[in-house]
Amino acid sequence: MPEGATDFLPYGLGLALSCLVIITLTEKIIRIFPWLLACLLRTKECDNLEDAFSIARARNSVCVGLTLPMICIASLYRLYPPIEKLAGNAWGSLGLYAALFAAYFLLRRICTIIFRGKKTDRNSYAYCIRVAYSFCTISYLLVCVSAAVCALCGTDACITRAILLWELGICYLMNLLRTTQIFAHYQGYLRAFLYLCTLEILPTAILVIPAVIF
């Protein structure tokens, strides 16, 4: 475990459960992987994935399932500094990271309900909202693989932390790009800009600003 992660029981239990989750999801991960890769390469493929309902459901299952490994990795490598200021021990850290993930996605969900304009087409709006699930899943897979490789190679925790943060940042920027392109295609660039400000950048800013301050 990284330096500073001295409480073996919570992390050991969390990582064991994470491995079980990943093994359970392996078939779905293999099935959706080509679709996720296509989303990185072409904007149209994001719409195609949503139209393939079985693939979209599998993607959603993987996204939800990989949240547990992400919570463990985020806590192990201290990816969010404000939590380290509040958490008294490993159990507290894991609990606060779980609350952080839940709060972020709940806030994003609330924003999607509040800020959807009456004239906005429901179907195109749903496409834009669901793009985030694809890139969230991509970032989760990338972080899990990178954390495992770094752990096996004995990479310094600070270097691993930097790698994981860069990967999360790049995936987030790709998500912004694809959602802007899709929303602009259906609704125009003005609505795409308003979408970015209210439904993507606002929740993320609320998350990032405390991390910068603390």
Q: Average pLDDT of 46-69?
A: 93
Residue 40: closest CA among 135, 128, 132 = 135
Q: Which two tokens stand for residue 185?
A: 């295609």
- Average of pLDDT values for 51-73? 94
Average pLDDT along the chain:
86
Q: What is the pLDDT of residue 185?
A: 80
Q: Are 146 and 164 in contact (CB under 8 A)?
A: yes
Region for 28 from its dihedrals, namely left if φ exceeds 0, alpha if ψ lies in -120 to 50, beta otherwise? alpha
Phi, psi of 66, deg, nearest 5: -80, 0
Across the range 54-75, mean pLDDT stands at 94
**Inter-residue contact 174 to 134 (CB < 8 Å):** no
pLDDT tier at 149, thresholds 50, 70, 90: very high
What is the tens place of the pLDDT at every residue in 10-38?
888 888 999 999 999 999 999 999 999 99
- What per-residue confidence (pLDDT) applies to 162? 95
Cβ pair 169, 99 in contact under 8 A = no
